[in-house]
């Protein structure tokens, strides 16, 4: 767990975007406070090699966890099949320690594991090798999702592996004060295989690798005050906000240190009609290698039917410190900001973003969009038709670095996907914020990254981050700006 003060603020943007984690995230008590009673599934009808461990998990929860505050539901190391899905509803100060691997065998829809209305909860594997094998190739888009955490508070999910869900992998549904980290998610090269979908408030997601052909780590409605960082979208569909519809209320979001290898986009905000707002959002320090799209706002996203409404209003959105390339600049614009004509985007800030294409063709595309950078119109105003402009290779562009685990392609949809090991780095040059549990990481121990003595060289642009605990980038600001300390976690060039 990371304890973060209410003053943890990020201020970035021409009119500064305010995004924040408010208060603490993660469980409120230490791991030891959840081990007063061990509810071992082997004592509730389960066995290693079981043909259906579901009833034993449900029994251990109903008859042990619910009756003993401060307990751990324990699934020991080993292999288990599962044909009965479970709903673990209402407990507080408890843990689910999944050291074994559970394999889906039934094709029933729903979710294999639902954790609902939990408070002070932790789900993890102590060996950093436990998880769920969905074998989705056997029932593609016709079976269960793997894990859904619903309306839960002060929780963490970490050191787990989720593989080949028939549909989505991990869903955080209208929950708050959560921390998710040290995960490996591996889906097939097909849509409908979302990695992590999150809605709610005050969620910190970091150090996650996702392979699939749909959402990497994506914000859903409603959402506020999320921090998403050190995410490795490794042959993934890429992260996004959306798709958005009526009544959208999304604000105060930060994505930073996001590494994209292949796949659909570096980031996308997607809608087609609807109403409401997305505001005060920062996308900082993105790297992209060979994606189809790069910086992509699409208010006319054709993959969904048009929804009634004038469009979702996007305001105060900052893209800073990007470096990457798309595959085909003739086919797609690397910078694409297409906003709804009846709800033009305002205060879209593109700063120090260096994007290019493998075929050496650079294009901007803007529609009903106002702000600074690329082809954006300054100020504000009404809707306007799409404008497409060509540009030459940015002088500051450099080929992004690679990681040894970068995949050349996704996984087949009609054959098994093996369980990976969880990485210890998720962005080039940056270690994981929290060590793996198997390497001595405490399940709920405080994590306090130290402030580095110096940056990685170079200078940080106006409004970019220049310091803070765990930050490893440049600490010197481009002239005439100065590195201003907001708090122990964030400093910015102002």
Q: Which residues are catalytic?
A: 214
Rg of the chain's alpha carbons, rounded to an integer? 22
Give the Å distances, CA to CA, from 60 to 41, 68, 111, 153: 6, 11, 18, 22
Query: What is the rounded CA–CA span in Å between residue 188 and residue 413?
Result: 5
∠ Cα 247 9 285 (to 5°): 85
| β-bridge mates for residue 326, sequence order | 291, 357
Return the structure tokens found at 273. Answer: 């009609």
Question: What is the SS3 string spanning the chain?
Answer: CCCCCCCCEEEECCCCEEEECCCCCCCCCCHHHHCCEEEEHHHCCCCCCCCCCHHHHHHHHHHHHCCCCCEEEEECCCEEEECCCEEEECCEEEEEEECCEEEECCCCCCEEEEEECCEEEEEECCCCCCEEECCHHHCCCCCCEEEEEECCEEEEEEEEEEECCCCCCEEEEEEEEEEEEEEEEECECCCCCCCEEEEEEEEEEEEEEEECCCCCEEEEEEEEEEEEEEEEEECCCCCEEEEECCCEEEEEEEEEEEEEECCCCCEEEEEEECCEEEEEEEEEEEEEEEECCCEEEECECCCCCCECCCCCEEEEEEEEEEEEEECCCCCCCCEEEECECCECEEEEEEEEEEEEECCCCEEEEEECEEEECCCCECCCCCCCCCEEEEECCCCCCCCCCCCCCCCCCCECCCCCCCCCCCCCEEECCEECCCCCHHHCCCCCCCCCCCCCCCCCCCCECCCCEEECCCCCCCCCECCCCCEEEEECCEEEEC
∠ Cα 157 162 163 (to 5°): 175
Query: What is the rounded CA–CA span in Å between residue 66 and residue 89?
Result: 9
Return the structure tokens found at 227. Answer: 């921090």
CA proximity to 288, closest of 242, 232, 241: 232
């Amino acid at each position: 767990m990371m304890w973060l003060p209410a003053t943890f603020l990020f201020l970035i943007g021409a009119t500064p975007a305010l995004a924040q984690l408010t208060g603490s995230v993660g469980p409120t008590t230490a791991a030891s406070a959840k081990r007063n009673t061990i509810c071992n599934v082997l004592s509730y009808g389960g066995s290693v090699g079981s043909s259906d461990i579901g009833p034993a998990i449900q029994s251990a929860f109903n008859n042990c966890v619910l009756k003993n505050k401060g307990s751990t539901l324990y699934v020991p190391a080993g292999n288990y099949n599962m044909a009965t899905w479970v709903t673990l509803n209402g407990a507080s100060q408890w843990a689910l320690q999944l050291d074994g691997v559970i394999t889906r065998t039934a094709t029933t829809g729903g979710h294999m594991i639902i954790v609902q209305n939990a408070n002070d909860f932790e789900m993890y594997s102590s060996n950093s090798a436990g998880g769920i094998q969905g074998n989705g190739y056997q029932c593609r888009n016709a079976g269960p999702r793997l894990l859904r955490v619903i309306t839960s508070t002060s929780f963490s999910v970490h050191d787990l592996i989720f593989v080949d869900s028939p549909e989505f992998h991990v869903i955080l549904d209208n929950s708050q004060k959560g921390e998710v980290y040290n995960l490996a998610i591996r889906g097939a090269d097909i849509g409908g295989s979302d990695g992590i979908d999150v809605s709610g408030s005050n969620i910190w997601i970091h150090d996650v690798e996702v392979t699939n052909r749909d959402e990497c780590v994506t914000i859903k409605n409603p959402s506020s005050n999320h921090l998403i960082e050190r995410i490795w979208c490794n042959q993934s569909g890429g992260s996004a906000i959306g798709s958005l519809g009526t009544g959208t209320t999304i604000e105060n979001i930060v994505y930073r240190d996001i590494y994209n290898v292949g796949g659909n986009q570096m980031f996308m905000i997607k809608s087609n009609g609807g109403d409401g707002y997305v505001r005060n959002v920062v996308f900082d320090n993105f790297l992209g290698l060979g994606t189809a799209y790069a910086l992509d706002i699409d208010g006319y996203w054709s993959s969904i039917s048009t929804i009634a409404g004038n469009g979702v209003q996007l305001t105060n959105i900052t893209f800073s410190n990007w470096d990457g390339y798309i595959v085909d600049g003739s086919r797609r614009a690397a910078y694409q900001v297409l906003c709804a004509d009846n709800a033009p985007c305002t205060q879209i800030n593109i700063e120090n973003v260096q994007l290019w294409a493998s075929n050496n063709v650079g294009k901007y595309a803007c529609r009903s969009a106002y702000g600074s950078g690329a082809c954006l119109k300054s100020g504000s105003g009404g809707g306007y038709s799409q404008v497409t402009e060509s540009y030459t290779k940015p002088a500051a562009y450099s080929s992004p670095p690679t990681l040894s685990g970068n995949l050349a392609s996704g996984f087949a949809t009609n054959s098994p996907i093996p369980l990976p090991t969880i990485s210890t780095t998720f962005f080039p040059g940056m270690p994981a914020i929290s060590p793996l549990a198997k390497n001595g990481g405490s399940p709920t121990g405080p994590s306090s990254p130290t402030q580095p003595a110096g940056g990685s060289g170079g200078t940080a642009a106006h409004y970019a981050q220049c310091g803070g605990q765990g930050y490893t980038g440049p600490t010197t600001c481009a002239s005439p700006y100065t590195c201003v300390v907001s708090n122990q976690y964030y400093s910015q060039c102002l």
